[in-house]
Chains A and B, each alone.
Chain A
Amino acid sequence: MLRIVNGKVHDPANDIDGEVRDICVKDGKIVESVPAEARRIDAHGMVVMPGGVDIHCHIAGPKVNLARKLQPEDHRYDVQHRTPITRSGTGGTVPSTFTTGYRYATLGYTTAMEAAVPPLGARHAHEELQDTPVIDKGFYILMGNNILLYDLLKEGRFKDLREAVAWWLNATKSYAVKLVNPGGDEPWKGQRNANVTKLDKKIDSLDITPRQVIKGLVDAAADLDLPHPAHIHCNNLGHSGNYETTLETMRTAEGRRVHITHIQFHSYGGELGSEPLSKAPEIIEYINTHPNVSADVGQIMFGKATIMTGDAPLSWLLRNLSGDKKWVNADTECESGCGILPFAYQEHIYTHALQWAIGLELFLLSKDPWRLVLSTDHPNGGSFASYPRLIRLLMDRNFRKEEMSKVNQRALRKINRSHLDEREYTLQEIAIITRAGPARLLGLRDKGHLGVGADADIAIYTEDDNKEEMFGVPRYVIKDGQMIIDNHEFKNDHEGRTLHVAPAYDHDIEQVIRPFFEDFYTIRFDNYPVTEHSLTLHQPFPIERRSINR
């Protein structure tokens, strides 16, 4: 039991903006009050927030582990010692699992969502997440290049498509539906490394278009009442002129809920093949005026990154642009592709400076922090370890100005400077884009806030003008009511839960899926689903079936 007193509470979901009030904790939950003998934490001079929620990162599963294996040079220089309570590990942009959990906790983050797991690798992702301590976690499954779903779409079998999506979410114990470069894997794997570029052009060898895939899955996720809508990595990531594809993708949702991820990488103007320009104002204008759309930014941060993506053609392009760097491609049968490439963003490079500025432009032009939330697409745009620095960039215009003076100036001249000069995020807005907003977008009702009944996931930071230092070293971190960091000291290890949805579905769909497995998969249908007993601590989110008139 715990009573936190004298702290300035930032709990935007409950309209509390810096008020000094008590927060009480009992049995892992926020409660109305606790007896007098409960431990008191005097948070005078401190800010109390819900634990951070990362809506989009890459921390577990097949591609993450390949990226880990690929970069011993990253681990060698960044090691984590064992302590009597914590396991040892290694860091870099792709830390070992234990180190990942501890490092999220030491930033005051208590929930993180792995954003791209091929369903066939779900069992692997679960094993890694079980070895990722402290935080609660879950993952999204790659559905945008699924051959069976394509077959159903082609035949206009929307009901079967929806049931199959529900089956897959259950079979993998995952949290959401993810699309990556919808339609792109088939030409990549089957047409000599080609790709799709237009939403309405038929995918070679398949009688459907990327737009049909997007629409089909946006509808399926919405019809199933999933807590998080279709989570989309749009086509043409990184290409000049791609903002039109992004706008078209958002329009395809036709007013239904959709989440566009790392939208910074999809906000470029200019001609294909030439230098990109910023179209952040156009993109953010669309989001500001369309409440069905949410996004995370995918800010790039200068320094070392690792490109790891279901978008294999993109990684190949970047690999060829940056010389014959070591590169990984990994195809998953019937389901997805994957590309991995060590990378570094450099201030003096035009494109990198522009990408950096576009991310900031999106943040600073956003009118609804609940719908445009913070991410670096860890580790694609930079490590999650750089979140405190990113927060400082948003909160401190003098610091931002200083940083802007260090980057390629030609790139900055292509941006409307007035977008970057003035606005400073408030603590309340930071609390929204790093915890309350992501939790709401994920439909996690017990997270991202400090109201009675919420999970007792709490971060307490000492107020400091230097926001990077403030958010980099929380004074206290509490997970499920457990004191993890106590007065800056790491005190307890903790096992977090795996969060997954369990939508109701029509079991007849198995008669459609089973024969496909027998023909085209190399694992038996009966051996594919991840069963509850192979999970350790987990929290299913059952979803009842409404009547669907479609």
Chain B
Amino acid sequence: MVNKTNPENPIPENPIIKNATCTFCGCVCDDVDLTVDTEAKRIIKAKGACAIGKAWFLEHGVEDRPQALIDGCHASMDEAVEEASQILANAHYPLIYGLSDTTTEAQRQVVGIADIIGGTIDTTSSVCHGPSGMAFQGVGESTATLGEIKNRADLVIFWGANPAESHPRHFARYSVTPKGRDIPNRKKDRTIVMVDVRRTPSTKASDIFLQVKHGSDFEVLWTLRALVRGRKVDPAIEARCGVPLAELEDLAERMKKCRYGVMFFGMGLTMTRGRHFNTSALMSLGTDLNKHTHFVVIAMRGHGNVTGADSVLSWQTGYPFGVNFSLGYPRFNPGEFTSVDLLSRGEADAAMIVASDPASNMPKAAIERLQNIPVIALDPKTTATTKLARVSFTTAPYGISTGGTVYRMDNVPIPLRKALDSPFPSDETVIRAIRKRVTELTADREPITGDLSAKVPA
């Protein structure tokens, strides 16, 4: 298999890989030095990584696992590719899901499979920041790369996010303690605000903590928009959202007066009451503030390359997640083409899961559907999903045993360095093989040519 975009280079003799990139979370720290024990085929030291980053690197040694399984029995790569391709080519309404923990090189290939088989492709965005994507389509956003935050931001707000546990190096690398060009005195030059429904391990990093009532984020954000616009707000808002009006007025003033402000927002906003209304409100507030000062917002994306998945789907189809090709061209409709919905309603009749484990975190109805249809899974580890899969491939973990590209939470593309040789192929290699075979299997099919597209209104 020629792997043009991502040649799997031989590993240098030096067992220390400098400036390796950690793909565990959306921080995508690219300053980790890995020490490799080539005998034991393990990484033994990950200098610079946080606790979860260390766990990521140190626990992904090369394991003695079968390359592929079909119905739980050992299979060759070729047999598994054939079986997977047959499943996909013969399904009526196949789903491809996951993608957030693999390289963009693999993501670019797998969208091609969805196109050929007229299936649906969806990413873990639909269960995390999908509502942010929808809000973006509605109102746009003012945003920035993380270096702008480090160099300029004097007001840093975290909303519904707990980076101390989910993105441990975020504070030190980007948002709270680094020295920046216009922020020479580190934390002293910044005001840190946390907005959340409860205290978390992140709270202690804040100068100001606003504890809002569960499910009232939208009201709080809308109140801030009103205050920023100089409108009067009824003090009764405190009863609704749990924060005194005076505190909100103070925050609105700080937002207007800062020199460069940022709101980081997490799943506390996207996966609670209001969802895309919450994120629309936050993005709109960020935009409004640009009438007074410079203000940006950034989503705290979780998985190492979930941002890349959004990007790849957008450039290949025009839409960031939940894309269906059954009419022969891409359509987008969250709720209709998003995985949890499509599985729970019993619509998908086959699924390929790439680098994700929906069988351990989706709702029960969706998991039951996965148990009853042929599933193909690609994962470096054994998971609940690989266990229920008809065909499972063991693949090389990205950023440990493969090179490639991932996109940080702020859309900055970062290369991966390979540290450990793996006997297993990369996701990209497996996906290319399946794509090739599916193309052959569907070659004599009539293309969908009926013009079913909506027409441009006159």
User: B456 contacts A522, CB within 8 Å?
Assistant: no
Determine whether the beta carbon of A328 is less than 8 Å from that of B140: yes
Do A79 and B260 touch across chains, with their CB atoms under 8 A apart?
no
A527 with B104: CB separation less than 8 A:
no
Contact with B along A70-86 (1 / 0, CB 8 A): 11101111111111100
Q: Name which of A87-95, A281-289, A343-351, A386-394 contacts chain B.
A: A87-95
Residues of A within 8 A of B292 (CB): 192
Answer whether residue A123 sits at the interface, using C-beta atoms and an 8 A cutoff.
Answer: yes
| CB contact under 8 A between A89 and B182, given known A82-B448, A326-B138 | no
Contacts of B30 in A (CB 8 A): 523-524, 527
A147-175: which residues lie under 8 A (CB-CB) from chain B? 147
Tell me how far the C-beta of A489 lies from the nearest C-beta in chain B, rounded to whole angstroms: 14
Residues A81 and B19 in contact, CB atoms below 8 Å apart: no
- Interfacial chain A residues near B7, Cβ < 8 Å: 533
Q: Is the CB of B315 within 8 A of A131?
A: yes
Instruction: Flag if A189 contacts B260 (CB, 8 Å).
Output: yes
Q: Is A193 within 8 A of B294, CB to CB? A: yes
CB of A333 within 8 Å of the partner chain: yes
Contacts A79-B453, A81-B449, A83-B447 known; A124 to B19 CB distance under 8 Å?
no
Q: List the one stretch of B194-202, B368-376, B406-414 in contact with chain A.
A: B406-414
Given A190-B294, A193-B293: A524 in contact with B19 (beta carbons within 8 A): yes
Interface residues of B in 257-299 (CB under 8 A from A): 259-260, 287, 290, 292-294, 296
- A526–B290 CA distance with the chains assembled, in angstroms: 35
- Interface residue B31 (Cβ < 8 Å from any Cβ of A): yes
Q: A334 touching B330 by the CB < 8 A rule?
A: no
User: Do the beta carbons of B447 and A84 come within 8 Å of each other?
Assistant: yes
Tell me whether B139 and A128 are in contact (CB under 8 A): no
User: How many Å lie between the Cα of A382 and that of B396 in the bound state?
Assistant: 45
Q: Does B237 make an interface contact (CB < 8 A)?
A: no
| B309-358, CB < 8 A from A | 310-312, 314-320, 325, 328-332
The stretch that binds A, out of B63-71, B145-153, B245-253, is: B145-153
A331 within 8 Å of B by Cβ? yes
Interface hits, B92-116 → A, CB 8 Å: 104, 108, 112, 115-116
CB within 8 Å of B: which A355-406 residues: none
Q: B12 CB to closest chain A CB, in angstroms? A: 13
Distance A74 CA – B318 CA, assembled complex (angstroms): 9
B143 located at the interface, meaning its Cβ lies under 8 Å from any Cβ of chain A in the complex: yes
CA distance A334 to B144 in the complex (A): 11
Interchain CB contact under 8 A, A77 and B454: yes
Chain B residues lying within 8 Å of A519, measured Cβ to Cβ, are 179, 181
Total B residues in contact with A, Cβ cutoff 8 Å: 78
Q: How far is the CB of B405 from chain A (nearest CB, A)?
A: 6
Taking a contact as CB atoms under 8 Å apart, the answer to whether B140 and A82 are in contact is no
Complex alpha-carbon distance, A89 and B112, angstroms: 11
Smallest beta-carbon distance B445→chain A, Å: 8
Please indicate which of the listed interface residues A128, A147, A188 has the most CB atoms of chain B within 10 Å of its own CB.
Answer: A128
Query: Is B242 part of the contact surface with A, judged by Cβ < 8 Å?
Result: no
Give min CB distance, B6 to chain A, whole Å: 8
The reply on A113 being an interface residue by CB < 8 A is no
A316 close to B181 (CB less than 8 A): no
User: Which one of A77, A80, A334 lies within 8 Å of B455 (CB-CB)?
Assistant: A77
CB distance from A394 to the nearest CB of B (A): 26
A79 to B448, CA, bound (A): 13
Chain B nearest CB, measured from A313 CB (Å): 10
Let me know if A97 is at the binding interface, CB within 8 A.
yes
Q: How far is the CB of A207 from chain B (nearest CB, A)?
A: 15
CB distance from A67 to the nearest CB of B (A): 10
Contacting residues, chain B, for A88 (C-beta < 8 A)? 115, 317, 325, 328-330
Cα–Cα, bound, A121→B331 (Å): 27
A330 within 8 A of B: yes
A340 to B151, CA, bound (A): 23
Q: Give Cα distance in the complex from A96 to B259, angstroms.
A: 37
Given A83-B447, A98-B316, A147-B181, CB of A534 within 8 Å of CB of B5 = yes
Q: Which A419-434 residues sit within 8 Å CB-CB of chain B?
A: none
Distance, CA A82 to CA B328, complexed state (A): 6
Query: Which secondary structure characterizes the binding site on chain A?
Result: mixed
Q: Contacts A98-B316, A147-B181, A189-B152 hold; do A329 and B143 have CB atoms under 8 A apart?
A: yes
How far, in Å, is B218 (CB) from chain A's closest CB? 18
Contact A68 B314 (CB under 8 A): yes
Q: Are B145 and A331 in contact (CB under 8 A)?
A: yes
A68 touches B315 (CB 8 A): yes
Say yes or no: is B180 at the interface (Cβ < 8 Å to chain A): yes
- Give the residues from 397 to 451 in chain B that come closer than 8 angstroms, CB to CB, to chain A: 405, 407, 411-415, 443, 447-449
- CB within 8 Å for A522 and B145 given contacts A88-B115, A88-B330, A326-B138: yes
Say if the beta carbon of B173 comes within 8 Å of chain A.
Answer: yes
Residue B41, interface by CB 8 Å: no
Query: Across the two chains, which residue of chain A brings its CB closest to B18?
Result: A526
Partner of B329, one of A80, A329, A331: A80
For A124, the chain B residues whose CB sits under 8 A away are: 311, 407, 411, 413
**A327 touches B (CB below 8 Å):** yes
Query: Given that A77-B455, A328-B142 are known contacts, is A130 also in contact with B5, CB under 8 Å in the complex?
Result: yes
Q: When the two chains form the complex, which single residue of B4, B332, B453 contacts A536, counting CB atoms closer than 8 Å? A: B4
Q: Among A71, A81, A98, point to the contact of B448 (Cβ < 8 A).
A: A81
**A-contact 0/1 string along B1-14, CB 8 Å cutoff:** 00011110100000
A120 interface residue per 8 A CB criterion: yes
Which residues of the partner chain B approach A123 to less than 8 Å between Cβ atoms?
A: 405, 413-415
Question: How far in angstroms is the closest Cβ of chain B from A337?
Answer: 9
Q: Select which of B21, B180, B407 is within 8 A of A520 by beta carbon.
A: B180
Which residues of the other chain, B, contact A190 by a CB distance below 8 angstroms?
Answer: 152, 182, 259-260, 294
Task: Note all chain A residues with C-beta closer than 8 A to B320.
Answer: 69
In contact, A96 and B414 (Cβ under 8 angstroms): no
In the assembled complex, how far is the CB of residue A92 from the closest CB belonging to chain B, in whole angstroms? 8
CB of A89 within 8 A of CB of B330, answer: yes
Complex CA gap A84/B359 in Å reads: 34
At the interface, yes or no: B136 with Cβ under 8 Å from chain A? yes
Check A182 for interface membership: any CB of B closer than 8 A: no
Contacts of A87 in B (CB 8 A): 112, 115, 316
* A82 and B141 contact, CB distance less than 8 A: no
Interface centre among A81, A98, A131, A526 (most CB of B within 10 A): A81
Say yes or no: is B137 at the interface (Cβ < 8 Å to chain A).
yes
A121-B138 Cα distance, complex, nearest whole Å: 25
Q: Whole-angstrom distance between the alpha carbons of A68 and B407 in the complex?
A: 17
* Chain A min CB distance to B155 (Å): 13
Q: What per-residue 1/0 map shows which CB atoms of A120-158 lie under 8 Å from chain B?
A: 110110011011000000000000000100000000000
In Å, the complex CA distance between A59 and B196 comes to 40
Contact B315 A97, beta carbon cutoff 8 Å = yes
Cβ 8 A contact of B145, one of A70, A333, A524: A333
Is B393 an interface residue when CB atoms closer than 8 A count as contact?
no
List 14 A-B pairs, Cβ < 8 Å: A60-B315, A75-B330, A82-B116, A83-B447, A95-B318, A97-B316, A124-B411, A127-B312, A190-B152, A316-B290, A328-B141, A331-B143, A331-B144, A520-B180
Contact surface of A with B, Cβ cutoff 8 Å: 60, 62, 64-65, 68-72, 74-84, 87-90, 92, 95-98, 120-121, 123-124, 127-128, 130-131, 147, 188-190, 192-193, 316, 326-334, 340, 519-524, 526-527, 531, 533-534, 536
Given contacts A89-B318, A522-B174, 5 further A-B contacts (CB under 8 A): A96-B316, A327-B142, A330-B411, A534-B6, A536-B4
4 shortest interchain CB distances as A-B pairs: A333-B147, A90-B318, A75-B318, A329-B142
